[in-house]
A and B are shown apart, each in its own frame.
Chain A
Amino acid sequence: MHSVAVTGLGVVAPHGDTPEALFAALLRAESAIHPVFPELPKPAAAATVDFDASRWFTKLQLAGVDRVSQLAVAAADLAMRDAGLEAGAVDPERIGVFAGCGMGGAAALEAAYRGNGRVPPLTIPAFMPNAPASHVAMRQRAQGPVLTYSVACASSSLAIAEAAKAVQRGEVDIAIAGGSEALIVPGVVLAWQAMQTLAGFEPGEAATAVRPFAADRSGFALGEGAAFLVLESAAHARRRGARVHATLAGWGSSCDATHLTKPDAEGQARALRQALKQAGLKPGDVGYCNAHGTATRIGDVVEREALALVWGEQLDGLRVSSTKALHGHLLGAAGALEAVITVMALRERQLPPNAHGASPDPACALNLVREADTQASALEAAISSSFAFGGTNSALLFTR
């Protein structure tokens, strides 16, 4: 079996469009969450992307291309450039796209509902959840498998795992793997508010509304963006002299099969154990976990329980943070963005802090990364968790 190397990173994130800018902002505990849609009855906050579509599209090319696909095209292109892969460098049939997306083109659908009966003719191709993957494929001329994974909050984490399998089996030489989400539109924000999972906040305090693992946590904020990784076998990377950011050493996926939205510690633990087993690592070998950490009342306690089940007495040696406090919850793109952050943590041997956690919750007792203590000079392995509505859990384990 081939070892899977990460040779390209691309993000179009609320904190910027380079992994370096994103990571530096996270280390500074800078929150990108801000108030949105003041016209809504209840205050809303989200982390949005300052995106200049003209860098990737002419006006004509934008016809029928929803923001969710625009962000995907940009992030995938940045990842391919980072990997040093020029057009034509690889046989197109040996390039695959593995893209996660939770919802699809929310803005296109919203415009259709709000058009007073005038529905733009390209609503369907703009909205369909596999449009981002197809647009990435057209832009990068990827003629191998081009697949979309819609598994709620685990979508892009699973997309990366599935891409790694294809690389490992030798089905593709290059996998462009990640995800995109862009659903910060009033209708979708209202729906999430109705679900009672979004953080409440006082006026002027949107930036610190999301407080993972803290006693005063009250949920998450939505985020938008896209992130892609370029995966290839270590041998392929070596042959072409590519820089390797990290190795994707293990992955695990499981389903709770208990409840559609209520998380389950045993189910999550199964995914975490699988990732460790595949990587041939013991819990104590892993120095950092980029947690799912949605800051919901129940979710954080269950995640802590899952980590405790797997790490046991070594739990204190595992440093943990949820960066959703700062970039929001990117849902279908969350796993990919957090995979990039986890790779950056390994590469830089620095850990993004678990922000806004001044009041710890004993029920979520973890070795949380503090803002004044982000160095991790001996870090060799780090794991990123994504747990989805629907009960599917995914874990990605990276090594240096």
Chain B
Amino acid sequence: MSSLKELQDLIQEKYGIPSSELDPQASMREKGLDSLALAEFIFEIEDKFGIEVPDDNPNIDTLAELAALVDKVRAAKVA
């Protein structure tokens, strides 16, 4: 399972940034998703997927890393 596509769709819907403009391997901060915006985005992700993302992940910088974390939390929830 990969949440990447769903996260890309959510970013497009919420912030109007198409997936073509946000390289999953690139720093989200450079696209304007700074620490404040990211905190809010994670809140949205939690609402959308009904999960709780642990708040001890300060090093997340790319969308791919965020998707991997969301995958992990969702998998743990299913198990």
Q: Which residue of B lies closest to A54 (CB)?
A: B16
Q: Which chain B positions have C-beta within 8 A of A121? A: 39-40, 42-43
Question: Using a Cβ cutoff of 8 Å, how many contacts connect chains A and B?
Answer: 33
B58 near A: Cβ within 8 Å? no
Q: Which chain A positions have C-beta within 8 A of B39? A: 121-122
Q: How would residues 20 to 62 of chain A score, 1 for a CB under 8 Å from any chain B CB and 0 otherwise? A: 0000000000000000000000000000000000000011110
A61, B36: Cβ atoms closer than 8 Å: no
Q: Which residue of B lies closest to A62 (CB)?
A: B15
B36, A125: Cβ atoms closer than 8 Å: yes
Which applies to chain A's interface (DSSP): helix, strand, loop or mixed? loop
Q: How far is the CA of A120 from the CA of B14 in the complex (A)?
A: 15
Q: How would residues 21 to 48 of chain B score, 1 for a CB under 8 Å from any chain A CB and 0 otherwise? A: 0000000000011001101111100010
Q: Which residue of A lies closest to B17 (CB)?
A: A60
A89 near B: Cβ within 8 Å? no
B: interface residue count bin: 10 to 19
B15, A58: Cβ atoms closer than 8 Å: yes
A390 near B: Cβ within 8 Å? no
Q: How far is the CA of A118 from the CA of B40 in the complex (A)?
A: 12
A64 near B: Cβ within 8 Å? yes
A372 near B: Cβ within 8 Å? no
Q: Which chain A positions have C-beta within 8 A of B42? A: 121
Q: Which chain A positions have C-beta within 8 A of B17? A: 60
Q: Which chain B positions have C-beta within 8 A of A120? A: 40, 43
A59, B15: Cβ atoms closer than 8 Å: yes
Assuming the contacts A58-B15, A58-B16, asked whether A63 and B47 have C-beta atoms less than 8 A apart, the reply is no
CB distance from B64 to the nearest CB of A (A): 19
CB distance from A372 to the nearest CB of B (A): 50
CB distance from A257 to the nearest CB of B (A): 41
B43, A60: Cβ atoms closer than 8 Å: no
CB distance from A293 to the nearest CB of B (A): 41
Q: Which chain A positions have C-beta within 8 A of B14? A: 59
Q: How far is the CA of A58 from the CA of B12 in the complex (A)?
A: 12
A64, B16: Cβ atoms closer than 8 Å: no
Q: How far is the CA of A58 from the CA of B42 in the complex (A)?
A: 19
Interface residues of B (CB under 8 A from A): 14-17, 32-33, 36-37, 39-43, 47
Interface residues of A (CB under 8 A from B): 58-61, 63-64, 118, 120-122, 125
Interchain residue pairs with CB less than 8 A apart (11): A59-B14, A59-B15, A60-B17, A63-B15, A63-B36, A63-B40, A64-B37, A118-B47, A120-B40, A121-B40, A122-B39
Extra contacts besides A58-B32, A59-B14, A122-B40 (6): CB < 8 Å: A58-B16, A59-B15, A60-B15, A60-B16, A64-B36, A118-B43
